[in-house]
Structure 1
Amino acid sequence: MFFVYVIKSIEGFRYTGMTEDLHKRLAEHNNKNLSFWTKRGNDWKLIYYEEFTSKSDALNREKWLKGGSG
């Protein structure tokens, strides 16, 4: 399975990404040493996700959400 997700920090920052392991990736976002893009925020919480069987479908959805259309 592939997941497209949106997380939000306590400061209000949002991040959209794609992963095969949602729980592991969220832990990485909360570890400032492992995630370049989300190290500016604290206490990231999962606010939305979708599951896909196809990696290409997940990447297309991530791109759509990041493009301002979502």
Structure 2
Amino acid sequence: MKEGYVYILTNRKRTVLYTGVTSDLVNRVLKHKKGEGSEFTKKYEVKNLVYYESHQNMYEAIRREKQIKKWKREWKLNLIRANNPDMKDLWKEITSGGRFHF
């Protein structure tokens, strides 16, 4: 079974949060960066990866995504800042220095 990822994206001003799940984190984030994500992420220009976690399989990842989506915004921000205090875009981190450029 494929590994799964839960991720949180935000916009440039860090005012919007989007939680998603995927089996291919790099390609999914790339789609968001190109404006090919969901209608919500296109509308609010949500392109910056600020949090992600990996799971052994997609079932666990989907369960965790559903859990996080029910959380209050403050709880999500606490989760993000515990791992990424400056809420920087983690794109280069997941692409090992970035073979993709934006």
Same fold (TM over 0.5): yes
Could you tell me which runs of 5 or more consecutive residues in structure 2 were left unpaired when the two chains were aligned: 76-102
TM-score, normalised relative to structure 1: 0.83
Pairwise CA distance, 1:43: 6.0
Q: Secondary structure at the match of 1:39?
A: helix
- Tell me, in whole angstroms, the C-alpha distance in 1 between the residues paired with 2:42 and 2:70: 22
The structure with higher relative contact order (CA 8 Å, sep 6+) is: 1
Structure with the higher helix share, 1 or 2: 2
**Structure 1 position 21 matched with structure 2 position 31:** no
Could you tell me which runs of 5 or more consecutive residues in structure 1 were left unpaired when the two chains were aligned: none
Structure with the higher strand share, 1 or 2: 1
Of residues 19, 32, 40, the one that matches 2:43 is: 40
Cα RMSD, aligned residues only = 1.7
How many residue pairs are counted as aligned between the two chains? Answer: 69
Structure 1 or 2, whichever has the larger Rg, is: 2
Look up the match of 2:10.
8
Look up the match of 1:57.
60
